[in-house]
Chain A
Amino acid sequence: MTVHVASVGMGRFGKRTEGLIDLAAEAANLALEGVGRKPIDLVVVGSMLAEGPHGREALLPRLAGRLGLESASGFRVDSSSGTGGMAFHAAVLALETGRYERALVVAAEKMTDRSTAEITKELSAALHSSEVAAGATMPGLAALVTQRYLAAHRVSLHAVDLAAVHARAMAVRNPNAQFQKAVTVEEVAASRPVALPLRLLHCSAISDGAAAVVLEKGAGPASVLGLGQGLDALRLVDREELTTFAATRSAARRAYEAAHLTRKEVEVLEVHDAFSPFLLIHLEDLGFCGPGEGAKWFEKGWVGLDGRLPVNPSGGVIGRGHPIAATGLTSIAEVALQLRGEAGAHAVARAPKVGLAQTVSGIAAHNFVTILGRSAA
C-alpha cells in the first residue's frame, strides 16, 4: 500500500519562548491546515526530553487534546536524536496495515530552558553508561570518531570546516533555520574548541522546535518509496569499524531495496550532521562515494542547490539547529517540501523526483533512512 506525505508543518527553530506543547501544536496545526483539517485517525508523537523536572509527561494526550484529536488512536516513540525518523517510520508502518486512513506525525523538543550542563547530561542517556562514567559526552565521542576518520583516510580538517560552511550557507535561505548568518572557513577554524578536532562551529546547537507531517494513503509527489533501519553496538569500542556507521549502511541497503532504487536516482539529500564531519561519513555510508571520499564533495562544491547532488538544502542540523527529537522528522519533511515544490528560497535548482533523508540516534547506534518520491498508486 502506498502512503504519501500530504502536508508539512514547521515553525522556527532556535530559542523560543513557547513550551513543548505549544511548539508541537504550532507545527501540527500548520500540517493539519495543509490538508484542510481532514479527519485524523492516528497521531504519532516523539520527544526525547519531554519528561524530567518540567512536568511534560503524557505528551500524546496533551497534544491530542490541544488539537481536538482525542478521537484518534496514537502512540509516542523515543529514539533520542533519531526519534523523528522513528515516529515517521512507525506511522507509515501503521498506515500500511490498512487500519488507519490518515496520520499526523509530530516530533518536538524544548531545550533552551535548561542549562548546557543539564542538556549534556540528559543527552548522555543515548550513550553507553560506561562511556558516560568515563566522562564522555556526545561531542567527545564524535571527536574521537572524527580524529580516527581523518587519520585513517588522510583527510584534512579543512574539508570538515567546508562542510560546516556549507551548512550555514544553506541555512541562510531557510527562514525557519536557527542560524541566519553564513560563516567563513576562517571563522569555523578559529571557533573555540569543544573536543578537538571538533570546534564550536562543527557542532549542532541546542534548539527548540518541532516538525509535523500528515500522511495519507495513496500516491503523491512525496510518496514513501522505501524505509530502512539499522542498529549498531551502543558501546563505541564494540563496533567493528570506527570510521563508518554500519547502522546507516544497513538502513540504506534496506531502504534502497524496498524502493527498488539505487543511490543514482536520489536527487536531493537531507542527512543528520549533528557534527560536521558526519556529513562526509554519511555521504560514504549512503553509497555516494567510497571511504574517505566524502571530503571531495565539499572541496569541489558538488553539494549546493545547483550541484551534482544538493545536500542539506535546509541547512541540515548544523544550520537549522538541533531540537533533538524533531530533527529526524524535519529532515524528512524538508525532502517532502523539495519534492512537492514547496521549499521556497532553498528549493534545489532541478526539481527532484526522488529524495533521501537519513537520521541518526546517538553516535549512530540506531539510524533511519527514508526515501520519498513520486510513485504510481
Chain B
Amino acid sequence: MIPEPSTLELTRCASCHLRFLPNDGPCPRCGSRDCTIYAASSMGRVLAATELQYPASGWHAPHPLALVELEDAVRVLAIEEGSLPEVGTLVRVRRDGALYRARAPTPE
C-alpha cells in the first residue's frame, strides 16, 4: 500500500502572511502576487460534510464532500473517500491532480 503523504502544498502570502489553498491568482485577501508554496501538515478536521444526491456532471450520487480545516487553518473542499465523517473528525487530505481527497488517517 502506498503511504499517505503527511504533507500538502499550501501557499503563503509574503505581504499579508495569509496562508491559503493554492490557486491560479493572487492572494485572496490582499491581492499580492508575492506568494510562495510551502509544505504543510495534511491533517485537518471536518468542518462540514454532506452527500450530494445530485452532484455536478461526471460524478455519481451519492457524492460525499467535506469542508476540512487543515492544521495551518487553511480550508479545503475535499472528496471524502471513507464513510461520511461527523463534524470534528480528524482526516488526512491529499492532492489528486486538480482535486483534493480526504479520509480518516490509517492507524500507525
Write the residues of chain A forming the contact surface with B, with a CB cutoff of 8 angstroms: 116-117, 120-121, 124, 130-137, 139-140, 143-145, 147-148, 151, 192-198, 233, 235-238, 242
Contact = CB atoms under 8 A, between A and B. Distances in A.
Interface string B44-64: 000111111111111100010
B104 interface: no
B54 A137 contact: yes
A120 B77 contact: no
Given A135-B63, A193-B53, 7 more contacts: A124-B56, A134-B100, A135-B56, A143-B48, A147-B48, A193-B51, A237-B76
Contact of A144 (B50, B55, B58, B79): B50
Contacts of A131: 77
- In the complex, which of the residues A136, A137, A198, A237 has the most CB atoms of chain B within 10 Å of its own CB atom? A237
Given A151-B87, A238-B28, A242-B67, A137 B50 contact: no
Contacts of B21: 235, 237-238
A197 B75 CA distance: 21
7 contacts: A120-B56, A130-B23, A133-B99, A193-B53, A196-B51, A237-B67, A242-B48
Nearest to B88: A151
A139 B50 CA distance: 10
Given A134-B79, A137-B56, A236 B67 contact: yes
Contacts of B48: 143-145, 147-148, 151, 242
Contacts of A136: 52, 55-56, 65, 77
A75 B57 CA distance: 33
Given A148-B67, A235-B28, A237-B21, A137 B52 contact: yes
A193 B21 CA distance: 30
A117 B60 CA distance: 12
B17 to A, nearest CB: 14
A147 B57 contact: no
Contacts of A233: 28
Contacts of A147: 48-50, 87
A135 B54 contact: no
Contacts of B53: 192-195
Contact of B58 (A116, A135, A148, A151): A135
How large, as a class, is the contact surface on chain B? 20 to 34
B67 A139 contact: no
Nearest to A143: B50
Nearest to A145: B48
B47 to A, nearest CB: 6
A134 B87 CA distance: 20
A193 B62 CA distance: 10
Interface in B17-49: 20-21, 23, 28, 47-49
Nearest first, the 5 closest Cβ-Cβ pairs linking A and B are A135-B59, A147-B48, A237-B75, A238-B28, A143-B50
B98 interface: yes
Nearest to A240: B29
Nearest to B28: A238
Given A135-B65, A148-B48, A238-B28, A140 B99 contact: no
Contacts of A235: 21, 23, 28
A197 B50 CA distance: 8
B57 A196 contact: no
Given A147-B48, A237-B67, A242-B67, A116 B54 contact: yes
Contact of A117 (B57, B77, B79): B57
A130 B77 contact: yes
B27 to A, nearest CB: 10
A197 B84 CA distance: 13
B67 A121 contact: no
Given A134-B65, A135-B65, A140 B20 contact: no
Nearest to A127: B56
A102 to B, nearest CB: 40
Given A147-B87, A148-B48, A233-B28, A137 B55 contact: yes
Nearest to B63: A135
Interface in B72-97: 74-79, 87
Contacts of A144: 47-50, 65, 67, 77
